[in-house]
Copies of this chain bind each other. A is one copy, B any other.
Amino acid sequence: MSTSRKVTKELTRQKLIEATLQVLHEQGPAALTTGRIAAAAGLAQPTFYVHFTDMEDALTQAATAVEERLLVRLRELRDALSVSDPDEALRNIFRSTLKAFMLEPQLTQLYLRHRHDVDSPLGRRFREGTDRARRELAEDLRRVGLRLPNLDAHAEAVVGMVLGVLEGLLEGRLGDREQAVEALAHIGGASLRAAVDGGASPAGSAGA
């Protein structure tokens, strides 16, 4: 068995990444030290340096782990989407997005809390993810046939809306996920219909 040492090393690396996320989630960024991370993983403090060059490195790897797991959830549910009527399709998109995040509440909270961090690997990664999602949404809206001069602002608004509702659910201000889905679909649907029925005019006529 020539891989056993490699494998166990990889396992403790993952334990350390878990521990990093755990400390960050339970005690906040101010409490994030190499000592606490190692302790949470059941290891001696210098072991941290066997796996990471420094905290920056550890956080980068932790951010990657968070992103990967959330993306897996989002893809799982997107693949399972069954389209029926247009209204229900819209609801489905919002519903599955919220559901995907809510399957990983800790990771989602880490994402929501740290996506504005400056000068932190978490902030960088999470911001990149948000930017990508926003760009993809804007493309989707274009593909659906929307021709508004302020499509980017719409994408920004919709992403903000979804993340806002998500936050409300995770922090317990909103209790009913299906009502949240309805609210998103109501707002998004009404706006879509207005844009399609009225051509580009409702928003475009008064713009720039």
Contact = CB atoms under 8 A, between A and B. Distances in A.
Interface stretch (A2-10, A11-19, A110-118): A110-118
A191 interface: yes
Interface in A161-181: 161-165, 167-168, 173-174, 176, 178-180
Given A195-B186, A202-B186, A174 B160 contact: no
Interface stretch (A39-47, A72-80, A99-107, A145-153): A145-153
A99 to B, nearest CB: 15
A154 interface: yes
A199 interface: no
A190 B196 CA distance: 12
Contacts of A148: 183, 186
Given A28-B119, A153-B179, A156-B173, A186 B161 contact: no
Interface string A186-208: 11111101110000001100111
A207 B185 CA distance: 11
B176 A156 contact: no
A184 interface: yes
Contacts of A185: 203
Copies of this chain assembled into the complex: 2
A174 B208 CA distance: 13
A36 to B, nearest CB: 14
A178 B154 CA distance: 13
A157 interface: yes
Given A183-B153, A186-B195, A178 B208 contact: yes
A93 interface: no
Contacts of A161: 157-158, 160-161, 164
* The 10 nearest A-B residue pairs measured at CB: A160-B164, A153-B183, A190-B194, A150-B179, A190-B190, A156-B168, A186-B203, A187-B191, A190-B191, A161-B161
Interface of A: 28-30, 91, 112-114, 116-120, 131, 134, 148-150, 152-154, 156-165, 167-168, 173-174, 176, 178-180, 182-191, 193-195, 202-203, 206-208
